[in-house]
Structure 1
Amino acid sequence: MVKKIWAYAKNKQNDFIRGQHSSLRKFYIWEVLKIKQNFPEKYNELTFYSTQTNESNRSRMTPVKNGFFKYTENMKGGNNQNGDNESISHSVAISVLSELKKIKFVIGQECYHLNFSHFQEGPRLQFENGHFYFPDLIGYFDSECELASKWNGKVAIEVVVNHKCEPQKIKDFFNHNIPIIEVYISEKIRFLKEVKKQIFDSTDVENYNQFLTKTFTELVYGRIVSDPSSDLYYQKQLDLKEEELKSYIKQIQLCKQEKNDISDKYKKIEEDLNFQKQNFLCSENKLEESSRLNQELLHKYKEMNEMLNIANENCQSLEIKLVESERINKELQIKLQKLESMSWWEKLKSLF
């Protein structure tokens, strides 16, 4: 028996009841049972239906006090024959995911932040090979988030409790460019009372819905099993590669130019170095010549200094002789004056 925790509803005018933004309002099992208990007249005005996207595939549903809806007549649609669509864990997980606008998917070692505008729940997809499927959800991306362009704006989400997607289904989806993310409901996050086959009611289901909402709001573990790429994505990747190639070519040209500039600078430095070297050699030769001249001048200086010393000594000797000569001359002058003042007879006497 299929266990759904939410349903659409028609009023007594046989019109589907709409909520915000004119979308069909979801009636959760715990809400419906409270209406039935507290407002029986209002409850009697409602007729509940399954939530397929195509209205022609919807069937009447009846709330069960255990905490889920069951089909009143034979079910139209649904292709999970392995039993996941019969579990509360599966039903609640689909409901919670369909209400999230942002989902952080942890897939292997990668993490993807996906933004959704809306979901289709259990749409009927039929391919030209005659195969048809009812994926749990198809999410439509809200913006250019991760994987949006690669997956052409949408992704199928399959909730896995016990049974993975069949190989043929994965192949059909891939061939029709529809990606698939399998979301695992591990034992840690399953509806425990159902796993243990204990009695539960709508309050238990409501609490589990709140728990799973908190869990999935933080992150969702999954696996990509169909990973096609749109033509637009390939074109964008090609454009990126071309831009990357242009960037590399530009970098190579810049490197070549830089290499040429460095080479020119090196040649200039080498020329300057050779010029400096020549100047240095000339300066070195001039220094040697200057040193030789300085040595000669120093030698001459020493010779002249010795000659000057001798000249000084001779000068001193001459000065002594001059003083002596002046003394003698002075004595002779005195004697001459004395002789000049003497008479002839006195001069004659002085001779003897």
Structure 2
Amino acid sequence: MSTVSLVRCADYNFQQTYKAVKAAIGLVGGIDKFVLPGQKVLIKPNLLRAARPDEAVTTHPEFVRAVIRVFKEKETQIFVGDSPAGLVKIDAVYEKCGITQVCREEKVNLVKFDRIIEINGIPFAELLRQVDVCVSLPKFKTHNLTTITAGVKNVFGFIPGLYKVYCHKQAPNHREFSSLIAKIYGMVRPHLTILDAIEAMDGDGPSSGRPIKIGLVLAASDAVALDSVISKIVGLNAGDVVSTREAYKLGLGEADIAKINIVGEKIGEVLAAGFKPPRIAKLFKLPNIISRTILKVIPLVIGIDRKRCNLCFMCKNSCPQQAIILASDKLSINPQRCILCFCCGEVCPNNAIYIRFLNRRRQE
């Protein structure tokens, strides 16, 4: 039976966060279950783009520090790294997210995923083959393609940079993309997933949503079970989360709450009220033929708020379909080429990318 731990944590005060992280690991078997002295450990946070910690876009640096401290106690060799979306410059991401400072102060290796290996035709960070233990530190957020991003979705960051663009081209809709994410999770299953749900993001995540306090740390070796538990906490069914559903269908973990051993806090006492899923999440529950019909009647499009856009071209350079066009010093999106992958919105540093139905107006 899969075990998921639930531990309360009010904020990112280091001592409080460290205590919660250590307790969460202890409840799923303890640090000795996952690592031996001298082993190489890769710690992978979610660092989508260069964002301040208070924006709730990325795994909080004090959360990363707490995990580092726990693994340092076993005299391990620690590497910290991630690969953000698109053409985002990783050094700038590490710096703004507070990870550079944490790794410098903790004297651990901050790495780039610039060398690749192929597993079943998909490029991954070579470092995966060079370490003994992989620890995933997702940030709990909503996601416009997978409903939520947590344990299962965080493995997408093991695919370096622009190779993610290729993945989006190969899986252009939410069901195909979620199926691909599930397969990737099956290839590189982390030994331990520790979820930063102290402060999360709801609404139109994973980059432009609303920061929301949940006050929890979750841990599990089964990320499918972990995602199912956090979904239940915020009022979603595991079956509503496409990536969870696909991973469960592949036999990669447990999605039935009744079959998950939840330890620590009682789930009924930590339910989060008022959590808002992405606006398009309701479409994900419908069969393909129905959702496609709805989108034909009321088309969903992505737009650019020109008052917020500063022409940094992050969106244009990250679009897998080359659907973003520059004309008369303005960026616009060609709806004929757009596949609604939301890569543009993920990398925009100014929240200038938005989703709307064509019968709803917003100033452009």
TM-score greater than 0.5 by the shorter chain? no
More strand by percentage:
2
TM-score range, shorter-chain basis?
under 0.3
TM-score, with length taken from structure 2: 0.22
The structure that is helix-richer by fraction is 1
